[in-house]
A = this chain, B = another copy of it.
Amino acid sequence: MSKDIYYAQREKVYMSGTLYPDIRVGMQRVNLTPTVSIVDGEKVLTPNDPVYIYDTSGPFSDPNIQIDLEKGINRIRQSWIEARQKAGQPIGHLACARAGIITPEMEYVSIRENMNCRELGIETSITPEFVRQEIAEGRAVLPANINHPESEPMIIGRNFLVKINTNIGNSATSSSIDEEVEKAVWSCRWGGDTLMDLSTGNNIHETREWILRNSPVPVGTVPIYQALEKVDGRVEELTWEIYRDTLIEQCEQGVDYFTIHAGIRLKNVHLADKRTCGIVSRGGSIMSKWCLTKQRESFLYEHFDEICDILARYDVAVSLGDGLRPGCIADANDEAQFAELDTLGELVLRAWQKNVQAFIEGPGHVPLHKIRENMERQIEKCHNAPFYTLGPLVTDIAPGYDHITSAIGATQIGWLGTAMLCYVTPKEHLGLPNKEDVRTGVITYKIAAHAADLAKGHPGAQVRDNALSKARYEFRWRDQFHLSLDPDRALEYFQEGHHTDGEYCTMCGPNFCAMRLSREVINK
Contact = CB atoms under 8 A, between A and B. Distances in A.
Interface stretch (A90-98, A123-131, A482-490): A482-490
A515 B280 contact: yes
Interface string A475-511: 0000011011110011011101110000001111111
B328 A472 contact: yes
Contacts of A275: 522
Contact of A427 (B235, B443, B493, B513): B493
A327 B517 CA distance: 14
A509 B277 CA distance: 18
Interface string A512-523: 111101111111
A473 B173 CA distance: 20
Interface in A231-278: 233, 235, 269-270, 272-278
Contacts of A172: 509-512
Given A172-B509, A396-B465, A466-B329, A521 B454 contact: no
Interface stretch (A9-17, A100-108, A213-221, A281-289): A281-289
B451 A483 contact: no
A213 B521 CA distance: 39
A411 interface: yes
A171 B490 CA distance: 20
A430 to B, nearest CB: 4
Contacts of A464: 397
A267 to B, nearest CB: 15
A225 B486 contact: no
Which of the four size classes fits the interface of chain A?
A: 35 or more
B273 A511 contact: no
From A289, A429, A448, name the one whose CB has the most chain B CB atoms within 10 angstroms: A429
Contacts of A520: 289
Given A174-B506, A398-B443, A506-B431, A514 B282 contact: yes
Contacts of A496: 431
Contacts of A518: 272, 277-280, 285, 288
Interface string A275-309: 11111111011101100110000000000000000
B521 A368 contact: no
From A201, A277, A455, A496, name the one whose CB has the most chain B CB atoms within 10 angstroms: A277
A446 to B, nearest CB: 8
A48 to B, nearest CB: 12
Given A465-B329, A472-B277, A521-B292, A490 B395 contact: no
B510 A451 contact: no
Given A431-B505, A493-B431, A517 B289 contact: yes
A447 interface: yes
A469 B367 CA distance: 14
Given A328-B465, A524-B273, A450 B397 contact: yes
Contact of A276 (B233, B395, B466): B466
Contact of A483 (B285, B293, B397): B397
B466 A330 contact: yes
A111 B233 CA distance: 51
A177 interface: no
A519 B400 contact: no
A483 B512 CA distance: 40
A280 to B, nearest CB: 5
Interface string A165-188: 000000111100000000000000
A462 interface: yes
A408 interface: yes
Interface in A414-471: 415, 426-432, 443-444, 446-448, 450-452, 454-457, 462, 464-466, 468-470
Given A171-B506, A173-B506, 9 more contacts: A277-B469, A278-B519, A286-B517, A367-B455, A368-B451, A369-B456, A396-B468, A400-B490, A400-B492
Interface of A: 171-174, 200-201, 225, 228, 233, 235, 269-270, 272-282, 284-286, 288-289, 292-293, 327-330, 365, 367-369, 394-401, 403-405, 407-408, 411-412, 415, 426-432, 443-444, 446-448, 450-452, 454-457, 462, 464-466, 468-470, 472-473, 480-481, 483-486, 489-490, 492-494, 496-498, 505-515, 517-524
28 contacts: A173-B506, A200-B509, A201-B509, A225-B512, A276-B469, A277-B515, A278-B515, A278-B524, A279-B522, A281-B514, A285-B515, A285-B518, A328-B466, A328-B472, A329-B466, A330-B465, A330-B469, A395-B454, A397-B450, A397-B468, A398-B443, A398-B484, A401-B486, A403-B404, A408-B451, A429-B505, A430-B490, A430-B494
